[in-house]
Structure formats: structure tokens, C-alpha cells
Copies of this chain bind each other. A is one copy, B any other.
Amino acid sequence: MQITANDPSRKSWLNVAKDSDFPIQNIPFGVFLTPENIITIGTRIGDYAIDLGALHQLGYFKDIPLTDDMFLQDSLNDFIADGRITWRLVRNRIANLFDINNRTLQDQPEHREVVIFDVNEVEMQLPVDIGDYTDFYASKEHATNVGSIFRDPKNALMPNWLHIPIGYHGRSSSIVPSGTSIRRPMGQTKAPNAAQPTFGPSKLLDFELEMAFITTDVNHLGESISIEEAEDYIFGLVLFNDWSARDIQGWEYVPLGPFLGKSFASTISPWIVTLDALQPFRVESPKQDPAPLPYLQQKPNNSFDIHLHAYIKPLNGEENLVAKSNFKYMYWTMAQQLTHHTSNGCNVRTGDMMGSGTISGPTKDSYGSMLELTWKGTQPLKLSDGTERKFINDHDTVILRGYCENEKVRIGFGECSGKVLPAR
């Protein structure tokens, strides 16, 4: 089925600013509370939030096989479970309805009234009921930086890193949507030269610039999928801030990996941009040397050119751009991650989420965490208000943004932001 929704020449009868992340070619999916406090599934064009539940009740999807309450839900899980053909039918239909040349909805002011909201009047929710969340460690630059900082710059990568998309199971319960404040975690830490550990607020609170993809039902327990089919199961992507307390993490993580240093909170952007919408921005992923084992070998053009920016905004201060990275720097692709994940028979379900791990690029200004940007605090960043940061302070807001752009269209992710509150 053609993805007619992606037609770059299409214009909408809704006003879309030139630099908007949400032209009619994007059509992401999210969940929001309307001003009347009704929860619904929606999409966004420009600065308008569109209530798909109301559109469906008004009959605008009637020849697409959807249950009556498909969009009147508090998560996208049922819609995602319906699979790619349904996603395409719905995106194509929305593109048609909001096309400037289509007068069906445009000429129904009483319908427009109940379907279209100012995006500032709605309250975005977590878009998915996340079952299992996995975080990968897929940027070679990030893994090399971390290995250099904590171990040996000459043997920065662990022996397995170039052979396996290394990942770990994360905590689903503490994933929150953009805009939710983050409480600085308490925890047990031990300074390198201290005799005993102590318990108190984390002193080394960090962000991690990541993206995450969300899956439809992939496989039954005991089965696996081939790398050729992996992308068919990916619904879309969000921006992801994997908040990290480096001091808690450092003391707890050997030998079983990150635990309370991560599980106090993780933030995602609320609009899921579909893999379909990202198709025009396919690029080559980094060359893999040594070649991966056959089950992880894939055809070319497996990554996406997504510009990623991280900002720190101090209390009453302005936004400071602290990192400029790109999704395409990821060494291990999403298809490799998902294939590897099912290779042991582990079942992946609708609403599962997989994070990329921190996406760092080759240059110092492209590192995706304060740990790397300040080289573990040894090279503090100067902010525009004259203050310095080694890590994240109380009352700082961390904002991630991401977008794809070519000469015809810009597809963005909006923002993924969280303000840090002092420890309790």
C-alpha cells in the first residue's frame, strides 16, 4: 500500500508554520485530555491537536476496519496491535481529510468545532501502555567515551561490543510523558576513597539523549524473527531522556547492570512519529567492522537522518544548546536490536519500547550526556547566564528536540522535557 500521506507537495487547510515539526506529512499519534477532560487518541497538524475519537464517531473512518472505540482509549496499544496496514490506511485518510483540496471536513464547521483543538488547550498523556522496556547501548562513540572515562582509553570497548547490540531490561513503571517534573533521586553511593557508603540525594544527575521505538506484536515465546522482517513490527519513534544518577549507578551496577541509577524516571516525547513518516529520511548506518554474524546482517539504508538537540534551561534562564547529535550515528540499527532481542525466543509485544542508548556523535559537541560533555565533570559547561554545569542542577529543565529535514519537508518530534525538583 502506498504511503500517500507522505506526499511532500500536499498542503493542509490548517495553518502550519514554516518551521513546524508537524506538517501534514507527519501525522504522528498521541493520547490527550481534551479541554472537557475526555481522554482520546489524536494526531497533530501544526499547532492543532485533532481528536481521532471524535472524527471516528462522526464517520470519517467508516470504511476502514476499526472497532468503534478504537480511538476512545487511554493508550494506542489496540491501534498499534492492528498492524501496519491499518496504520497506513488511517494516516492516509487523515492526510486526505486535512488536504487543502478536500472540502469534506473543511466545510463542516460544526464538525471542526468538536474535532480540532489548540494544542496548548489539551494535556498530553503517555501514548502507550508500555509492557516491557529495553534499553540498548548502540552508539559506538558513547560506549567508547564511557569506556575511556571509567576504564582504559586504549581498550574502551568491551570485547563483546562490536558483536552484539548490548542491551538491558529497564523499568517501565517510571516512564513519564514530556512535561512531568523529575524528583532528584535519593540513593546509596560510595565515594571512591570513602570507607563506607552513605544514603542521600544523588549529586551526579545526568540526562541521556536517546530515541526509542515502539513495537506491535512481534513473535510468540520461543520463536524469533529474521532481520528482513524486523522493521515491519516497529510502529514509530519518540525522543527519550534516560535520566541517570551516575553516583548511584556507579556503586550499584557491578555485576548486574543499571538499576536504581535509572529507574527513578525516564521521559518520552508524547507524539509517536511513525516509521512510515520517516521513510524519506533513510540513510546508511555506520559501516560495521567486523561484519556481524549472519543473523544480524542486513541490506543497506537502515538508519534515519534525525537531528537531535539537547538543551539545559536554568530556572528563569534561557535555553542553552549543549549537544547536537544525530540518530544516524547509532552503530547498531533498530532492526538489529529487535532481531537480536527475539533471537533467544523472547516474545516482544504491542506497546513494548526499546531505547537506543545515549546517541553520541564523533565530535565533542555531539555527546549525548553530561558525563561525556564535561568528561565526568572535569570540563564544566558554561551556560549563557554565567553559571557552570558539571551535571544537572535542581530547577534545571532538560529539553530534547529532534527533526528530519530535506528541501521539501520537515518532520519533527516536538519536545521531550523535564524539570528537576530537589530531592525530598
Q: Which residues of A come within 8 Å of B, CB atoms?
A: 131-132, 137, 158-160, 163-164, 166-174, 176, 182-183, 185-188, 190, 196-199, 221-224, 245, 248, 251-261, 263-265, 290, 293-295, 340-341, 343-349, 352, 421, 424
Contacts and interface: CB of A to CB of B under 8 A. Distances in A.
A376 to B, nearest CB: 16
Interface of A is mostly: loop
B170 A169 contact: yes
A111 to B, nearest CB: 37
Given A187-B343, A199-B343, A261-B344, 16 more contacts: A132-B172, A137-B256, A166-B259, A167-B256, A169-B259, A171-B346, A173-B348, A174-B347, A183-B222, A197-B293, A199-B293, A222-B264, A222-B265, A222-B424, A254-B255, A264-B345
Given A199-B294, A348-B173, A158 B259 contact: no
Contact of A171 (B169, B186, B253): B169
A293 B198 contact: yes
The 3 A-B pairs with the shortest beta carbon distances in the complex, nearest first, are A257-B257, A183-B222, A185-B344
Contacts of A164: 188, 197, 251-252
A132 B173 contact: yes
Given A158-B254, A255-B158, A171 B132 contact: yes
7 contacts: A160-B251, A160-B252, A167-B259, A185-B345, A186-B345, A223-B424, A264-B345
Nearest to A263: B346
A75 B349 CA distance: 18
A164 B174 CA distance: 21
A253 B258 CA distance: 12
Contacts of A221: 173-174, 176, 183, 264-265
A334 to B, nearest CB: 17
A186 B224 contact: yes
A340 B166 contact: no
Nearest to A251: B160
Contacts of A190: 159-160, 163
A260 B132 contact: no
A123 B224 CA distance: 27
